[in-house]
Chains A and B, each alone.
Chain A
Amino acid sequence: MNTPEAVAAAGPLAHPAAGVPDLVAAEDVLLFVNAAITATGQREFHSDADAQRLSLDFLHTSVRVNYRRVYAASLALDINHHNAALIVRALLETAGEASDEERRTEGRLIAARLALLPPPRVYRLFGELRRAKVNNRRTRAIMRDWLAARPDLGHDAVKYRAGLKTAARHIHLRCRQEAEPLPETGEFLFRPGRSRRYEHRLLDAWRRAHYEQGAVTELPFSVAEGFAAKHGMKREVFLKRAAPRMTRLERLRTQEQRVVGDRRPDVDLTAMPLTRLASYVLSLGFTQRAERRAELTGALRAAARRAAGAHAGSWGRVHAVLDDSFSSSGSGQKRRRPLAVALACHHLLEALAAPGAYRGLWTSGAGDALLVRPWGPTPLGARILDALEPGPGGAAPDRLVIVSDGWDNAPAGLAGEVLRVWRQRLDPGRRTAAVHVNPVYDADGFDVRRLAAGVATAGIRDAEDLPALVEIARFAEGRAGPEELYAYLDRRVARFTGEGGTA
């Protein structure tokens, strides 16, 4: 079911139920895509986690029932991990509602998406499938294929012990003699404490770590942390010794804890993903940011150049309005996320714009991007007016990008009015392309908040996806019709399953 030949046969997406106007359907699709990119079921500044989850659940059910093919196809877009797992689970739970051909396409999409998800997400998804009692031949095959593609099950058995155990039990994974790593892993999971020693390096380290401090740092960091606490190892010593075995993000996360005196651990910040890096920068105090200005700005610029890739320098004159109001502080669960996205977009847009043709305006009026903080109201309208002013050469901007959660409150609605009047009176020829990207899902509206009808709004999760999002936002503006939207989705599905499905 997961063969590359089948990819070529992937037909166009069937249009939703007959009689439904295409335009409405297209709007629903975009609404769902926006939600699937931004919503994580976590607390946001304006709404709590329950409201977010309830709202998202409704949206998923509604789209799955009404536009099942689109629902599956959204797995091919840059949606976030939370929604990808929700979609996979919903598709597998309601496989009976799909036709044979739909199931084949879904299977390919699911396999390709699972390969991209981080393993903890996948193991959690498998656990949820078990709890939901979804255990048919197809589900088992999908889980088995995914497990077979894991590079080292011994590593998973140590790091995701409960997850792997649940999955193995759920799909009756056979630990036969001929499959090399499995017998020992099976022993490890289901008959712990029997073996005197394991052949596999990590399994044996886990056994020894119970009584030997030296073995602790051979383990993956998250597992080693528990053993270190058990042995009462000093945190600084432990972090220093465990550093080589950390993943890239663990290294970034523990970086501030690993500072000894004046000596910073030599982490290559330029290799970090752009938005994560922005989050890290914002987690530092003002004095630190000012002291390490060259290093941090350099890392942000390098990450932005990498994220821009082939698009670099191709966007012409770009003016941006970036929201650093108090609401961009996010919530306790998503600390400063909207602000981090704005900061990342600031650097990415600088890389995308023609050299020297970028102007970024923060809503608070801050001039120094490195020292931004979530503070004050959101006078979006006034800042948009500033951003529409011609650049140094007297030329109007080619693109206007607004990065904001859409809560325009000083005064409310001025941004929408400014954009409306500007489009109607001052730029009817659409010389300047305006797009609003919004990092926050609005639970009450089942969408990201919009500023004005004439300006496309797209959800954004990581700033790195900005070029792809601007492509989708075209459809929201209403200039590209539903036909083009479905053709675009088909292209994305074909490309996604073509690349990911063969892996």
Chain B
Amino acid sequence: MNRLELTGLTVRPAQMWGGVRLVPLVRASPVEGLRLHREVYEGMGAGIVELGPRERYLSYIPHGLVAEWSGGGGPAAGAGGRRSAAYGTQFGGGEAPRAMPLPALPHHRMAKRRPGDRLRFLPLHLALEGYLALHFGGPSTAWEEWSRAALRDGLSPRAEDAYLGLSVRGLGDALRVFEIHPDQCGVMVYVSDALAAAFVVPHPDDYRLLHASLVEDLYGELVHQYALYGAPVPESPVRITGEEHIGGLGDLRAAALARQREWAQAHDTLFARELLDTSYTFDRVYRMKSFTLWRFLPPFVRDGGGQHIGETITDHKGRVAYLKTFRLSDAQIRRGHLLRTLAGADWEPDRAAAALGASRAELIRRIRAAGFGALLKGGV
């Protein structure tokens, strides 16, 4: 597989608030046999993850997700918030997850099997770690230009910046006033009409509990800047044209439905095209019976469009049951592109320069500008 397959999810009309446009995704029927729960971590979200014997991942990790594929709907099924009169005034209701009173131990692995048919994973960090670990080992061949540190430690330590959803202006308010659809299982977040994140879960009840967690997610630099400097997105209310042909309520209803179809089509081909039409490199993380947890990286092509990393759970037919994406900033795309090119040329500077269509001096400048100066020897 190399594409994201969002079959089964229907687009509903967007809701705007300031510079943020939220597009709900609705499932006709929930995905059978998979549920997601949230667990909240103490310690203000300061998280350490042990990846391997000597590898650590440090980040703001406020919560993790637990996927449960035992088939049953789980404890929250049926009796959940659906029949409560208080729904809407108490977000998350009485079943809202509580912080686990545990000492701040490092998390073991990004995805960790739990007793029963359960898997705990750290949303977005799984994907982000995949991006950070891109050619993390450093030069595979000891060409003379590479420094000793680069040959010994590779790219370590490697860091990237992201912004917390709370600091993305207007996102918190937009999520608060958003009206969740009855069967909603996902949302696409646009900031200044640039796709900032996509979020899909298998079951509407899960979505209702996880909707607010979007403000605790990570967003790229571009998203933060667009939200800070961008103007409110123009409202584009529907227009019914050709009213001279409308002779009855039935015609009017048909015209209204046509507008709905037009919007769904426009969204898939215009708004979400960069996410859906890109071919990704999928990397399998964990297999849970008929479901598979993947993380994916974009091709790092520099065509000016957005590039998204993320993680997804697909069923045996490759349809997306869970999805969370992160939009890379331009600098991050450039870094990914550079590392891919260097690795493709076996880290030989002259071949890499040729592949980039640039001179050797230009390649050296680009390596330094990308923040990888420590890889090069001082005299180069």
**Are B252's CB and A385's CB within 8 A?**
yes
- In Å, the complex CA distance between A286 and B247 comes to 43
Closest B residue to A45 by beta carbon equals: B177
Q: A409-B15, A411-B13, A412-B13 are in contact. Are A422 and B252 (CB under 8 A)?
A: yes
A175 interface hit (Cβ, 8 Å): no
**Are A326's CB and B180's CB within 8 A?**
yes
What chain A residues lie within 8 Å of B24 (beta carbons)?
Answer: 377
How many residues of B are in contact with the other chain, CB < 8 A?
37
User: 1/0 per position for B237-252, CB-CB distance to A under 8 A?
Assistant: 1111001101111001
With most chain B CB atoms within 10 A of its CB, the pick from A335, A364, A413, A422 is A413
What chain A residues lie within 8 Å of B247 (beta carbons)?
Answer: 425
Which of A110-118, A259-267, A368-376 interfaces with chain B? A368-376
User: 1/0 per position for B43-60, CB-CB distance to A under 8 A?
Assistant: 000000000000000000
What chain A residues lie within 8 Å of B84 (beta carbons)?
Answer: 285-286, 373
CB distance from B54 to the nearest CB of A (A): 49
CB distance from A322 to the nearest CB of B (A): 16
**Are A375's CB and B86's CB within 8 A?**
no
Q: Which of A46, A325, A381, A409 contacts B256 (CB 8 A)?
A: A381
**Are A336's CB and B249's CB within 8 A?**
no
User: 1/0 per position for A311-341, CB-CB distance to B under 8 A?
Assistant: 0000000000000011101000001100000
B259 interface hit (Cβ, 8 Å): yes
B360 interface hit (Cβ, 8 Å): no
Q: A373-B87, A414-B238 are in contact. Are A425 and B179 (CB under 8 A)?
A: no
**Are A378's CB and B85's CB within 8 A?**
no
How many residues of A are in contact with the other chain, CB < 8 A?
41
CB distance from B248 to the nearest CB of A (A): 7
A23 interface hit (Cβ, 8 Å): no
B235 interface hit (Cβ, 8 Å): yes
CB distance from A397 to the nearest CB of B (A): 12
User: 1/0 per position for B248-276, CB-CB distance to A under 8 A?
Assistant: 11001101100110010000000000000
- In Å, the complex CA distance between A420 and B83 comes to 37
- In Å, the complex CA distance between A108 and B237 comes to 47
A503 interface hit (Cβ, 8 Å): no
Closest B residue to A286 by beta carbon equals: B85
B88 interface hit (Cβ, 8 Å): yes
**Are B249's CB and A409's CB within 8 A?**
no
**Are A385's CB and B256's CB within 8 A?**
yes
- In Å, the complex CA distance between A89 and B364 comes to 73
- In Å, the complex CA distance between A323 and B236 comes to 22
B128 interface hit (Cβ, 8 Å): no
**Are A417's CB and B16's CB within 8 A?**
no
What chain A residues lie within 8 Å of B236 (beta carbons)?
Answer: 412
CB distance from B246 to the nearest CB of A (A): 5
**Are B249's CB and A329's CB within 8 A?**
no
What chain B residues lie within 8 Å of A289 (beta carbons)?
Answer: 85
Q: Which of A327, A376, A389 contacts B177 (CB 8 A)?
A: A327
What chain A residues lie within 8 Å of B113 (beta carbons)?
Answer: none
- In Å, the complex CA distance between A373 and B177 comes to 16
B12 interface hit (Cβ, 8 Å): yes
- In Å, the complex CA distance between A335 and B86 comes to 11
- In Å, the complex CA distance between A43 and B309 comes to 39
What chain A residues lie within 8 Å of B246 (beta carbons)?
Answer: 421, 425-426
User: 1/0 per position for A413-430, CB-CB distance to B under 8 A?
Assistant: 110111011101110000
What chain B residues lie within 8 Å of A425 (beta carbons)?
Answer: 243-244, 246-247, 252
What chain A residues lie within 8 Å of B83 (beta carbons)?
Answer: 286
**Are A376's CB and B240's CB within 8 A?**
no
Q: Which of A326, A327, A413, A426 contacts B237 (CB 8 A)?
A: A413
CB distance from A236 to the nearest CB of B (A): 24
**Are A417's CB and B237's CB within 8 A?**
yes
List residues 63-114 of chain B with CB under 8 A from any CB of chain A.
Answer: 83-89
List residues 175-213 of chain B with CB under 8 A from any CB of chain A.
Answer: 177, 179-182
**Are B260's CB and A411's CB within 8 A?**
yes
A49 interface hit (Cβ, 8 Å): no
CB distance from A419 to the nearest CB of B (A): 10
**Are A329's CB and B238's CB within 8 A?**
no
Closest B residue to A328 by beta carbon equals: B88
A284 interface hit (Cβ, 8 Å): yes
Q: Which of B89, B248, B255, B263 contacts A335 (CB 8 A)?
A: B89
**Are A418's CB and B256's CB within 8 A?**
yes
Q: Which of A46, A327, A389 contacts B249 (CB 8 A)?
A: A389
What chain A residues lie within 8 Å of B253 (beta carbons)?
Answer: 385
Closest 9 CB pairs of A and B: A413-B237, A411-B13, A374-B88, A326-B179, A377-B179, A417-B240, A329-B88, A286-B85, A421-B243
Instruction: Return 29 A-B CB contacts under 8 Å, by A number.
Output: A45-B177, A282-B85, A285-B84, A326-B179, A327-B179, A335-B89, A371-B85, A373-B85, A374-B88, A375-B88, A376-B179, A376-B180, A376-B182, A377-B24, A377-B180, A385-B249, A385-B253, A389-B249, A409-B15, A410-B13, A412-B13, A412-B14, A412-B15, A412-B237, A413-B237, A414-B237, A421-B240, A421-B252, A425-B246
Contact surface of A with B, Cβ cutoff 8 Å: 45-46, 282, 284-286, 289, 325-327, 329, 335-336, 364, 371, 373-378, 381-382, 385, 388-389, 409-414, 416-418, 420-422, 424-426
